[in-house]
Amino acid sequence: MRRACVFLLCAVVAWVTAPVGAQPQTVKIGALFNVTGGMSSIDAPGLNGAKLAVKEWNARGGVLGRRIELAAEDGKTDQTTVANAMSKLINVERVVAVGGLNDSTFALAAGPIAQKAKVPFVIAGATLPNLPDQIGDYAFMVPFTDDAQAFVGAIYTVKTLKARRVWVMTDKAYDYTLTLTKFYKQKLLELGGVVVAEDVYQSGDKDFSAQITRLRRISPPPDALFISAVPDDIGLIVRQIRSAGIRIPIVGGDGYDTELLVTIPGKALADNIYFTTHVSLTSKAAVVANFVKAYTKEYGRGPENAFAALGYDTFNLLLDAIRRAGRPDPAAIKAALEQTRGFRAVTGTISYEGGRHVPKKSVTVIKVVKGEFQFATETTP
């Protein structure tokens, strides 16, 4: 027992005092994603995108004449671990800026640490409105916010799908799903739509027959179903609704944008679905096509979803800001980020105008036909 204790103590001491591989001629930036756990279907592609961006910059000679070193940490879909990882990146790895995270609960746990240390934190994919305001002036967002995508979803429902009577179902367990529903309903009512009935469930539920029975009782049936869900649940919901013989169009947000939407219900049932997201990866635009090509070459498969593109954009934006800052200094990088205007990213154009740290970006609508993701439209709300 004593020997084991001594060994453990030695191991801890060795680990604490281990020299951090500091090379003077590099610029070190941090990537924080939940590569394992519930968020991994979204965060792992994000990290792949981030690594690709850094690799491309290094191939072009790095930034400010120095090689870029990417310190990547796994948050393990756990708030305590995410906060620990952020602290490690800043205090041990001594990165000059951090990018990553696709969910606000985790961004809010990690953000204050970066804010306190005055290190810029660029949020890759969390879409909660006013997220930077809650963290502080060192936080920036790459994606659009939920109000923007919910508005576009509502406009698409009413104007394009010609649906006026909408049934709304919301996952009560997430910040994201609740916010999305709130803004969707607001816009829908503004446009003269009606919510015929509302239902709820909790992430992790496996049986939606009660909700589907209530939905069937609505007469006449609604014109569209708005379902605010996270990736883990939406596949199952679509499967059960479609299996029940309900063919009404389903509308949702960027939580739909994973392969789970198609793999769980199967190609035949994943049909007549519309969702808002950050980019259509089938787009012909050069910036998108180049990214898809580079990603496919690097990883042997196409980008899994828009979060790969967001991760890529986050680090391109960050490295561009470091280049414009002229020196790898957190305060200078923050100032350079604030001056970002018209930065051409895969997921749209990023500008931080009027002191806002949230970009005004276009929202893409994707149409799912027999398991195929097709580009429907792109608008700026």
Partner 1 sequence: MRAIPVVVLAGGVLALAQSFLNPYYLRLVDVTGINIILAVSLSLTNGLTGVFSLGHVGFMAVGAYSAALLTLPTARKALILPDLPAGLQQVHLGLLPATLAGGALAALCAAAIGYPVLRLRGHYLAVATLGFLVIVRSVLINWERVTRGGVGISGIPPYTTTWWTYGVAALCLYVTWRLTQSAYGRAMLAVREDEGAAAAMGITPSAFRLLSLVVGAFFAGTAGSLWAHLITVISPNSFWLTETFALVVMLVVGGMGSTTGAVVGAVTMTIVPEALRGLEGGIQVAGLNLPPLFGLSQLLLALALILTMVWRPQGLLGGRELSWPRWLRQGSLPRRANK
Tell me the CA distances in angstroms from 2 to 7, 33, 327, one per residue in order: 9, 38, 51
Least separation in angstroms between CB 242 and partner 1: 26
**Nearest to partner 1 of 92, 369 (CB atom):** 92
**Nearest to partner 1 of 105, 349 (CB atom):** 105
**Nearest to partner 1 of 15, 245 (CB atom):** 15
Tell me the CA distances in angstroms from 321 to 155, 160, 344, 356, one per residue in order: 34, 39, 13, 16
175-190 vs 104-117: helix crossing angle, rounded to 10: 110
Least separation in angstroms between CB 93 and partner 1: 9
Least separation in angstroms between CB 335 and partner 1: 24
Phi first, then psi, for residue 343 (nearest 5°) are -75, 120
**Nearest to partner 1 of 175, 298 (CB atom):** 175
| Residues 6 or more apart in contact with residue 350 via CB below 8 angstroms | 142, 313, 317, 340, 342, 343, 359, 361
**Nearest to partner 1 of 80, 339 (CB atom):** 80
Short-list 141, 110, 92, 94, CA closest to 33: 110
Least separation in angstroms between CB 353 and partner 1: 25
Least separation in angstroms between CB 85 and partner 1: 7
CA triple 215-218-220, angle to 5 deg: 130
For residue 33, give the amino acid letter. Answer: F
| Helix (H) or strand (E) segment spanning residue 275 | strand 273-277
Least separation in angstroms between CB 329 and partner 1: 19
Half-sphere exposure of 372 (CA within 13 A, CB side): 6
**Of how many residues is the chain composed?**
381
Quote the CA–CA distance of 53 and 47 in Å, as a whole number.
10
Short-list 371, 377, 370, CA closest to 159: 377
**Nearest to partner 1 of 77, 377 (CB atom):** 77
Can you say how many angstroms the Cα of residue 370 is from the centroid of all Cα atoms in its chain? 25
**Nearest to partner 1 of 99, 222 (CB atom):** 99
**Nearest to partner 1 of 128, 318 (CB atom):** 128
Binding site for partner 1 (CB under 8 A): 4, 8, 11-12, 15-16, 18, 35-37, 44, 71-74, 76, 78-81, 83-85, 87-88, 90-92, 105, 108-109, 112, 117, 134, 171-175, 177-179, 202
